[in-house]
Amino acid sequence: MAIGLQQLLDQCAENGTRCLVLTGEGKAFCAGQDLNEVTDPNGPALQSIVAEHYNPIITRLRDLELPIIAAVNGAAAGAGANIALACDIVIAKESSYFLQAFSHIGLIPDSGGTYHLPRLIGFQRASALMMLGEKVPARDAEAMGMIYKAIPMQNGKSMW
Amino acid sequence: MPTRGLALTKRALNATFENNLADQLDMEEKFKLLPARQLITMKRKCILRKAQS
């Protein structure tokens, strides 16, 4: 999927796309890396996953010369949270949340999290969220400037 | 919670305002591998033990 997203972003650079909206299919925006894949002796090495899957996505998201909107629909955890934060505008369903889950498993944040989050919410808050791994509901994320807007439900229905 | 990961997180955060995005991604990638090796080894041992028992 990560390679597919890279290819899609490359196509957008070439085919005259004027705006791009990234959202998740199903209940989550992106729950991050599946650790079972990493610990599988026959699976890819974590180094290659970070270097070949996630980092090129972040670089493309920042280099593409068109507005990219992350429409977060549910959990945005680990690399998934940091992919959203690398977009130009982040909106989120009110029921969504952001989680720097890395510290829960003894890893350091990836996908540009240590670059974007301190610039968005300040060093102190970024340090706390990354070290403590606290879940940040969309409303709180908006209040602290992590995202542009938390979108409330209207008449019991979400906007997208 | 392993403190190695926290120490490396702190080092990455300390460097963030000195680095451009490319440098910071490189740093995250490099730092990720140090605690990850231990995590992966531990997980694989657990899987092996489960398979043996």
Name the β-bridge partners of A71. Answer: A23, A91
Contacts of A63 in chain B (CB under 8 A): none
Q: What is the pLDDT of residue A47?
A: 73
Percent of chain A at pLDDT > 90 equals 76
pLDDT at A3 over 80: yes
The conformation of residue A101, written as its DSSP 8-state character, comes to G
Q: Which two tokens stand for residue A66?
A: 């068109």
| Higher pLDDT, residue A2 or A82 | A82
Q: What is the least distance, in Å, from the CA of B36 to any CA of chain A?
A: 6
Task: Count structural domains, chain B.
Answer: 1
Task: Evaluate whether A96 touches A29 at the Cβ level (below 8 Å).
Answer: yes
Q: What is the pLDDT of residue A139?
A: 97
pLDDT at B16 over 90: yes
Query: How many interface pairs between A and B have CB atoms less than 8 angstroms apart?
Result: 96
Q: What is the pLDDT of residue A106?
A: 86
How many of the other CB atoms lie within 10 Å of CB of B12? 24
User: Mean pLDDT for chain B?
Assistant: 84
User: Mean per-residue pLDDT for A143-153?
Assistant: 96
Name, in order, each residue with C-beta under 8 angstroms of A49's C-beta and a sequence gap of 6 or more.
Answer: A2, A33, A37, A38
Q: What is the pLDDT of residue B2?
A: 59
CB contact residues (below 8 A), chain B span 9-38, against chain A: 9-10, 12-13, 16-17, 19, 21-22, 24-25, 27-29, 31-33, 35-36, 38
Contact across the interface for B25 and A109, Cβ inside 8 Å = no
| Higher pLDDT, residue A159 or A109 | A109
For the domain made up of A21-151, give the CATH fold. 2-enoyl-CoA Hydratase; Chain A, domain 1 (3.90.226)
Q: Which of B25, B32, B43 sits opposite A108 (nearest CB)?
A: B32
Calpha distance B29→B13 (Å, rounded): 14
Q: So where are chain A's domains?
A: 21-151
Percent of chain A at pLDDT > 70 equals 100
pLDDT at A45 over 70: yes
Q: What is the pLDDT of residue B49?
A: 77
Render pLDDT for A51-103 as a digit per residue (tens, 0 to 9): 999 999 999 999 999 999 999 999 999 999 999 999 999 999 999 999 999 98
Contact across the interface for B12 and A108, Cβ inside 8 Å = yes
Task: Evaluate whether A66 touches A18 at the Cβ level (below 8 Å).
Answer: yes
Q: Which domain holds residue B21?
A: 3-52
Q: What is the pLDDT of residue A149?
A: 97
Q: What is the pLDDT of residue A32?
A: 86
- Nearest chain B residue to A115 by CA distance is B16
The conformation of residue A135, written as its DSSP 8-state character, comes to E
- The 10 Å CB-count burial string (b at 16+, else e) for A86-117 is bbeebbbbbbbbbbbbbbebbbbbbbbbbbbb
Q: Is A23 left (phi over 0), alpha (psi -120 to 50) or beta?
A: beta
